[in-house]
Amino acid sequence: MYDSIRMNVLSYVSPHLEKALKNLNFDGVTEIRVGKNMPLCAIVDSRAFFIGKKGELLKSYQNAYIATEEDFSSTLELMTAASIYAATDELKNGFLTLPGGFRVGVCGRAVLNGKKVSYIKEISYLNIRIAREIFDCAKKLSNLILADGSVKSTLIIGPPGSGKTTLIRDLARILSDDYSVRCAIADERGEIAAMHRGTAICDVGKLTCVMDLCPKKYAVNMLVRSMSPEVIITDELGDNDDLYTVKKAMHCGVKVIATIHGDKVSDAGAFAKKFDCIAILSRQSIGKIQKFIKNGDKNG
């Protein structure tokens, strides 16, 4: 794990940040937050700590390392391989993806083109999320959605940081390797499989194919047409296009397993009615199912 962080995160931050972070104990760290001219911060087991110059965790920001403007521009350059234009599609959605599936949330000033965000400039905040593979964390969920012998379309609802992506990644692996289900992943943000030069860095199963960094509405369509999957797995449903995409895939006889932000069934809006099962996650631990509801029992 530490090797992966060293290779995929520490080599993409400025030398000063690298120096501060290389002594940090990454056990339980889920996020590293870097703000321009702000103290360096880590989220450890859902609690925020500041990081000192030597990587020590501090409760107060007074002795924390302050990320300078130079740190920031150097980090951003390393993260985008000195090619902002190549990352604009990701940036306008508010994130960057590092090799290894580490996602970096980005905050700054949005540039609008009509009603859509076309770019984020003057980036002032980075949130490096430490991607983790937790094997068998989806074992319980796989048993629930395969209770009748066939896979059920399932919507996973969870707040940010509840492990939705980690869960569906492991679910893809279990369905593919243990049940020989042909899975396809529409990985719009590149963090489920963490593809790097055509190879999935994370284990998503031997029968799983991945359409990487492609908008869901195109990816699902292409996967249904060309890869004849039994199950399509995708992350973070949101708008009407996604709803239409899910409906279309289900009408083609493909089961869909997807995630959505929220903490109760009503947060999923119209999506909730489309799925056979709904699993609600809690923040308490990665992939912990708080409630599992089958179709027809949605008040559950």
Residue 131 CB, shortest distance to another protein, in Å, is 21
Question: Which residues contact residue 168 at a Cβ distance below 8 angstroms, ignoring those fewer than 6 apart?
Answer: 138, 156, 192, 233, 235, 257, 258, 259
Give the chain's end-to-end CA distance (angstroms, integer).
39
Nearer to another protein (CB atom), residue 95 or residue 275: 95
Residue 85 CB, shortest distance to another protein, in Å, is 5
Residue 45 structure tokens: 């087991």
How far CA 97 is from CA of 22, 62, 136, 191, in Å, comes to: 20, 31, 24, 7
Nearer to another protein (CB atom), residue 10 or residue 227: 10
Binding-site ranges for another protein (CB under 8 A): 11, 14-15, 73-74, 77, 80-86, 88-89, 118-119
Residue 83 CB, shortest distance to another protein, in Å, is 4
Q: Supply the DSSP string of 242-277, one letter for each residue.
A: HHHHHHHHHHTT-EEEEEEE-SSGGGGTTHHHH-SE
Nearer to another protein (CB atom), residue 86 or residue 270: 86
Residue 77 CB, shortest distance to another protein, in Å, is 6
At which residue do the structure tokens 């969870």 appear? 158
Residue 78 CB, shortest distance to another protein, in Å, is 8
Nearer to another protein (CB atom), residue 88 or residue 124: 88
Which residues is 293 bridged to in the sheet? 278
Nearer to another protein (CB atom), residue 68 or residue 290: 68
